[in-house]
Chain A
Amino acid sequence: MNITENFRIALRALAANKLRSALTMLGIIIGVASVVALMAIGAGATAGITAQVQGIGSNLIIVMPGRLQQGPNRGGMQPAALYYSDYEALAKTLKDVNGVAPSYETQATVVFETRTRSAGVIGITTKYAELRHYDIEQGRFPTPAEQQSGARVAVVGVNVVRDLFGGLNPLGRTIKLNGVPFTVIGVLEEQGSGGFGSADDYVMVPLETGYDKLFGASAVEGGKRKVSNIVISVKDETAVDSVMAQIERTLRRQHKLAPGDEADFLVLSQTQLLDTLSQITAILTAFLGAIAAISLLVGGIGIMNIMLVSVTERTKEIGLRKAVGAKRGAILLQFLVETLVLSLLGGLLGIALGVGIAAAVTATGVITASVTAPSVALAFGFAAAVGVLFGLYPAWRAAQLRPIEALRYE
């Protein structure tokens, strides 16, 4: 009896009981698919976050409110905040910079005619858009005159356009932000998915207009306008460190911090952001990896169970095959081929499903999931090994029995 013969016997046996074969494969499919998909999402998220940070540019510094380290809570401390006056101080004092620009970010309900969605609203200046490399696809940014006069004009991200305008040309139309009408004058160039909160989901308005008509009381504290962050573009990459030191000094003075006090603001360069984020993504990846490992383990146990049961229940068949003259080797070869076919087919379907899930996740636009070869190899190898091992073991055990004992098995 040759190998093709064995394949024919095995395939016939698999086809003879389609439900059992399908159930057996299901464990392998789910195990492999979950690992492939989860690892792809993890890798995609990491790559997306990294790319987004790198997209900021290596000469950009971002100042944000808050503390780098969570110190002991001291009574009477003001919650950390950045103010418009901080921006003005930085703009005045910093040297070797291309520009300094503030922004204020909040959440608003955006309404166009009957459609509603919530979106992040950023109050920006022309400079801010320039430093952050926001480009216009259609229309224009607010003019300096509009910036100063507090004109109710808005530039919207492509996702907002898609959700609200459904194919209509948005330019010149009126949307309401928290009930305040704004005229759409521009659409931002699509930035693509790749991390959290890309500008595609934002509406941008002139900062001045925002303070006057939109942001309300929460944007003001003790008569001072708050800002969400301040970006600084350094002329030369090598000057980043010295500019960061200047910012530190200026803001400590602005915030009246004593020399020993902890800073209540964050000054981050791209390098630092990358460091911080890579810690986060490492945790994320480890977390997803742990889930994947568990699902692989559960999948493996599933494969093990169904293989043990489905092969054990065929002890009688094995006895019969031996009774009509099958040698032990022939029986084992048949089951080896059967489990191989199941494992390989299940593994391939699992990979296909995993890749499909990854593609579906990518299609939602939140994360670009990227399937990695090691995760595919690991999942496939593990599932196939478990399948073959636990398919062969009961077959081997049954083949050891005298035919009469195997035939008597119920």
Chain B
Amino acid sequence: MIEIESVTKVYQMGETEVRALNGVDVHIGQGEMTAIMGPSGSGKSTLLAIIGCLDVPTSGGYRLDGENVESMSDDELADIRSRKIGFVFQQFNLLPRATALENVTMPLTYAGVSGKERRARAEEALRKVGLSDRMHHRPNELSGGQQQRVAIARALVNDPAILLADEPTGALDSKTGTEIIRLFQTLHRDYGQTVIYVTHDPFIARHTQRIIRLADGQVISDDRVAEPLEAGAPRPSELALSGSLVVL
């Protein structure tokens, strides 16, 4: 259960202060699949980073499963990230010289999992994303979609309750993007994973149950999606996309 309350985030950019988030309230329940949308600079990535404990709010409160995250030390945050959160980046962020299996194993070494169990769990995570036959390939030997799936396997390997993704399809073509979204839907449906991703593409966002829109650091809308699209559905016109939302 994610409870964000009147969170602000201020960056100091030289002389000027940039207010990336300006009083955001968001609650996201266990097992929800949510998209965060907004134009660039709206603060959507900052919000996701705070949810993922990669960053801390300047003010406001963040409770994760009842724990106050905003007052935690750096190491306590690392522990939360290790146990509860899997993060997928737009640019994959794989270690270039490590194999897929080594990349996926990395979080387990920091989680204190024993050597034998690690390999089994990393292999299992790679199987989940359909890469059992690519375990010993390095990132440069994999396609963009395969690299993103390795990154998802890495995010999944610690069995986190929450899977976060920042523009997961942003660096991929639409067909590969669809495969990644299908994978998220499967994880959400079959394993009850909480999935939150940031996107600027309304079509990608429509594959979730809920769309939160940000602008200028504030939530401007929070809508249920009446009929989430199935991955592989044809891309409708932009007009149809914006009209098919049901305001709660």
Chain A residues engaging chain B, CB cutoff 8 angstroms: 1, 5, 9, 12, 16-17, 316-317, 320-330, 402-405, 407
Residue of B nearest to A405 (CB): B55
Q: Given A16-B98, A325-B111, A327-B110, does the pair A320, B93 have CB atoms closer than 8 Å?
A: yes
B106 at the interface (CB under 8 A from A): yes
| Residue contact A403 to B54, C-beta cutoff 8 Å | yes
Residue of A nearest to B86 (CB): A324
| Residue contact A327 to B97, C-beta cutoff 8 Å | no
Residue of A nearest to B76 (CB): A327
Kindly state the separation between the CA atoms of A342 and B66 in the bound complex, as whole angstroms.
45
- Nearest Cβ on chain B to A328's Cβ, whole angstroms: 6
Q: Which of B86-124 contact A (CB under 8 A)?
A: 87, 89, 93, 95, 97-98, 102, 106-107, 109-112, 115
Kindly state the separation between the CA atoms of A324 and B98 in the bound complex, as whole angstroms.
16
- Nearest Cβ on chain A to B244's Cβ, whole angstroms: 33
| Residue contact B75 to A325, C-beta cutoff 8 Å | no
B78 at the interface (CB under 8 A from A): yes
| Residue contact B110 to A1, C-beta cutoff 8 Å | yes
| Residue contact B74 to A328, C-beta cutoff 8 Å | yes
| Residue contact A324 to B75, C-beta cutoff 8 Å | no
- Nearest Cβ on chain A to B173's Cβ, whole angstroms: 24
Residue of B nearest to A317 (CB): B95
Residue of B nearest to A4 (CB): B115
- The residue that A328 contacts in the complex, of B54, B55, B78, with Cβ under 8 A, is B78
Kindly state the separation between the CA atoms of A321 and B102 in the bound complex, as whole angstroms.
13
- The residue that A407 contacts in the complex, of B54, B75, B81, B102, with Cβ under 8 A, is B54
Kindly state the separation between the CA atoms of A9 and B98 in the bound complex, as whole angstroms.
11
CB-defined A-B contacts under 8 Å, sample of 17: A316-B93, A317-B95, A321-B106, A321-B110, A323-B81, A323-B87, A323-B93, A324-B82, A324-B158, A325-B110, A326-B78, A326-B110, A327-B79, A327-B110, A328-B78, A404-B55, A405-B55
Measured between beta carbons, the chain A residues less than 8 angstroms from B52 are 323
| Residue contact A407 to B55, C-beta cutoff 8 Å | no
Q: Given A324-B110, A324-B154, does the pair A407, B82 have CB atoms closer than 8 Å?
A: no
| Residue contact A325 to B82, C-beta cutoff 8 Å | yes
- The residue that B78 contacts in the complex, of A17, A317, A322, A405, with Cβ under 8 A, is A322
Residue of B nearest to A402 (CB): B55
Measured between beta carbons, the chain A residues less than 8 angstroms from B36 are none
B56 at the interface (CB under 8 A from A): yes
Kindly state the separation between the CA atoms of A403 and B112 in the bound complex, as whole angstroms.
20
B49 at the interface (CB under 8 A from A): yes
In the complex, per-residue mask of B127-146: 1 if CB is within 8 Å of any chain A CB, else 0 = 00000000000000000000
Measured between beta carbons, the chain B residues less than 8 angstroms from A324 are 81-82, 87, 106-107, 110, 154, 158
